[in-house]
Structure 1
Amino acid sequence: MTCPAFSGRGRPLVDGYGRHVNYLRVSVTDRCDLRCTYCMSEQMTFLPRRDLLTLEELDRLCSAFVARGVRRIRLTGGEPLVRRDVTALLGSLSRHLDAGTLDELTLTTNGTMLAQRAQDLAACGVRRINVSLDTLDPDRYRTITRRGDLAEVLNGLDAAQSAGLSVKLNVVALRDVNEDELGDLVRFAHGRGMDLTLIEVMPLGETGHDRAARFLPLDVVRHRLSRTLTLEPLAYRSAGPARYVRVAETGGRLGFITPLTHTFCEGCNRVRVTCAGQLYTCLGHEAGRDLRAALRGSEGDGLLHDAIDDAIAHKPSGHDFVADRISGPAIARHMSVTGG
């Protein structure tokens, strides 16, 4: 697969606030084998397969962003590993790693299929992955995911590390659900040489659960953790929005992502593309641009780059998630559609 030539190759993506966009998150499917209570409703209606971008279209789209200065690409979902051809896409995109035009190719996964796919990911140039894991209790895990088996994820973590992949755990902090074991999750992750990031619940899509009842501010979590752990501020920054501390007792890094209590929009370098080709320049806004139409409207990439330029020019200064207005979704689309 190759990306057709474009005369504006190399022109960086800079929005109206002077922020350089160099990080692309691409959903390859809206489907997932789990139904996490903070992410999806139990009965989901997924897009028909004909609406999804093909493997070739995904490659062409990602390559267009690389040509414009994007240095990191993360594949997401839904659950990206339920799409069988995802490793073929990764293998094709790895040519940008080899050429030095891409710094990192990675993905976020729930871990249920890692035991079978970890070696393939490593062979495709993936060196680091994020794994969503909100509890270490098997019964609680099944309750949160509505169907999952914790043992599959733990086996997947073993397989990922055996394949040489660096793993970071993502944990959504949920009041009255997992708040009593967040310290244990930190110790578990750091004991295995993994970073961990705590995330406030995000108000996207109807899930059938009251988010306001489950919302747990990370200021509260940080204060509680500091009773038993020494949290030392770090200058370290990943490509994403997390702010990190070092835990003195474990030597590991702990991140905090706070979309509701402390915005991080001033330094936003990210855009997201859905599996159907909608480009969203902000997680917290409904306005998007249809890149699928641009991809299918011409064999060249002129229309595609025009659509990207238009979207970047209108990237908002920030989202408007507000903690005291999350009983219902602030954004109608689910996180699984947008891409994590």
Structure 2
Amino acid sequence: MIDPFGRRISYLRLSVTDRCDLRCTYCMPKRAAFLPRSELLGLDELDRLAAAFIRKGVRKLRLTGGEPLVRKGVIGLVERLSRFLANGALDELTLTTNGTRLAHHAADLARLGIRRINVSLDSLDPATFARITRGGRLDEVIAGIDAALAAGIAVKINAVALRDDNLGGLVDLAQWAHRRGAELTVIEVMPVGSVEAERIDQHVPMTEVRRRFEHRWTLTDLARRTGGPARYVRTDAGGTIGFITPLSRNFCDGCNRVRVTCTGRMYMCLGQEARADLAAPLRASADDCLLDSAIDEAIGRKPRGHDFAIRAGSSPAVERHMSATGG
């Protein structure tokens, strides 16, 4: 799949649910409204969608949410999708999780071929973590991370930089992760969906975040790429840190991904409203001719990039929340 700007689309982020057992302040409003379960694609339909994209050239598949591990039957879906690892059609099957249920599923995920996962963790302080997540328990997430590492799964911790919440603890978070053999990626807060907080109050430019790390370590830029937008550095202590900069350093020129929601909507860009309905063609025919045509048509409309900006009083770039888009 080649988009209008010559970018090869080889990475699918497939949401299995919009539900989450946390309510992170930068992700969703306190009283989030979730879809009726009847509107979600069935597991068979999610499998068929994934198979269509893999047949069309996707080599990396990430399951997302919401929180994917709250979806009933999700391990069965992972088991079915693992056939594409076995036959070489996929290079990687992975997921992004908040870690709350990871301790229960890590061994199964490892058994089914998942070798690397992302875990969202914004603070090591229990009170700060509970405030950011609106009630989450830090010990559950740490237990999940340790279970994944014990099962042989590489862990990359994702932390959103928030000026008044966790900015002062990011260096210690990196050091904690490195001691466990995990990596850390720091992400600029994105203007996706309306939340109670002002985005401009939450936002920290990644240049400022990087300076904090440089006070602790000497950083060496790496050429490493993992299929996502992060740019990586290595510390002189041997740890790896990634930086994702949707605002301060746009990365759209190299975009290789699309997102499909748990209702079958395909979004060609996280920061744009351009989308395609894949549920209707999926359900209209037993074969995939209509589905393939819908995917091709949508790829032909993939925009050049997002228009993220954060200013005082500005509206979100898009009104849908990250949990509804798919991670």
Superposed CA offset, 1:44-79 (max 9, x none)? 111111110100000000000010110000000000
Q: 1:93 to 1:159 in 2, by over 3 A?
A: same
2:284 alignment partner in structure 1 = 297
Q: Indicate whether 1:159 and 2:147 are aligned.
A: yes
Find the aligned partners of 1:126 and 1:87 in 2 and give their Cα distance.
Answer: 11
Superposed CA offset, 1:139-162 (max 9, x none)? 111000001000000111111111
Q: Indicate whether 1:264 and 2:251 are aligned.
A: yes
Match 1:309 to one of 296, 308, 315: 296
Q: Indicate whether 1:88 and 2:76 are aligned.
A: yes
Superposed CA offset, 1:213-246 (max 9, x none)? 0101111111222122111010111110000111
Q: Indicate whether 1:125 and 2:113 are aligned.
A: yes
SS in 2 for 1:227: helix
1:78 alignment partner in structure 2 = 66
Aligned residue type for 1:268? C
Aligned residue type for 2:215? R
Residues 280-295 of structure 1: pairs in structure 2 closer than 5 A: 280-295=267-282
Aligned residue type for 1:257? I
Find the aligned partners of 1:263 and 1:325 in 2 and give their Cα distance.
Answer: 20
Find the aligned partners of 2:89 and 2:226 in 1 and give their Cα distance.
Answer: 19
Superposed CA offset, 1:233-281 (max 9, x none)? 10111110000111112x1111000111111000100000000000011
Give the conservation status (yes or no) of the 8 Å contact 1:203–1:326: no
Residues 1-340 of structure 1: pairs in structure 2 closer than 5 A: 13-249=1-237, 251-324=238-311, 327-340=314-327
Q: 1:268 to 1:326 in 2, by over 3 A?
A: farther
Give the conservation status (yes or no) of the 8 Å contact 1:243–1:257: yes
Higher mean displacement: 170-179 or 202-211: 202-211
Superposed CA offset, 1:268-317 (max 9, x none)? 00000000000011001012000011111111101111110011011011
Find the aligned partners of 1:266 and 1:326 in 2 and give their Cα distance.
Answer: 28
Aligned residue type for 1:153? V
SS in 2 for 1:224: helix
TM-score by length of 2: 0.98
Find the aligned partners of 2:312 and 2:39 in 1 and give their Cα distance.
Answer: 33
- What RMSD over aligned residues (CA atoms) do the two structures have, in Å? 1.0
Shift of 1:86: 0.8
Give the conservation status (yes or no) of the 8 Å contact 1:113–1:152: yes
Superposed CA offset, 1:197-222 (max 9, x none)? 00000111111111110101111111
Aligned residue type for 1:182? L
TM-score by length of 1: 0.95
Find the aligned partners of 2:274 and 2:36 in 1 and give their Cα distance.
Answer: 22
Give the conservation status (yes or no) of the 8 Å contact 1:27–1:75: yes
Superposed CA offset, 1:110-155 (max 9, x none)? 0000111111111221111100000000011100000100000011
Find the aligned partners of 1:224 and 1:35 in 2 and give their Cα distance.
Answer: 28
Percent identity over the alignment?
59
Give the conservation status (yes or no) of the 8 Å contact 1:87–1:121: yes
Find the aligned partners of 1:176 and 1:47 in 2 and give their Cα distance.
Answer: 31
Q: How many residues align?
A: 327
SS in 1 for 2:215: coil
Shift of 1:164: 1.1
Aligned residue type for 1:162? A
Superposed CA offset, 1:68-109 (max 9, x none)? 110000000000000021111110011010000100000000
Find the aligned partners of 2:112 and 2:43 in 1 and give their Cα distance.
Answer: 15
Aligned residue type for 2:32? M
Shift of 1:323: 3.1
Find the aligned partners of 1:19 and 1:143 in 2 and give their Cα distance.
Answer: 40
Superposed CA offset, 1:14-72 (max 9, x none)? 00111000000001000000000000111111111111010000000000001011000
SS in 2 for 1:130: strand
Give the conservation status (yes or no) of the 8 Å contact 1:210–1:328: no
Give the conservation status (yes or no) of the 8 Å contact 1:242–1:255: yes
Shift of 1:324: 2.8
SS in 1 for 2:311: helix
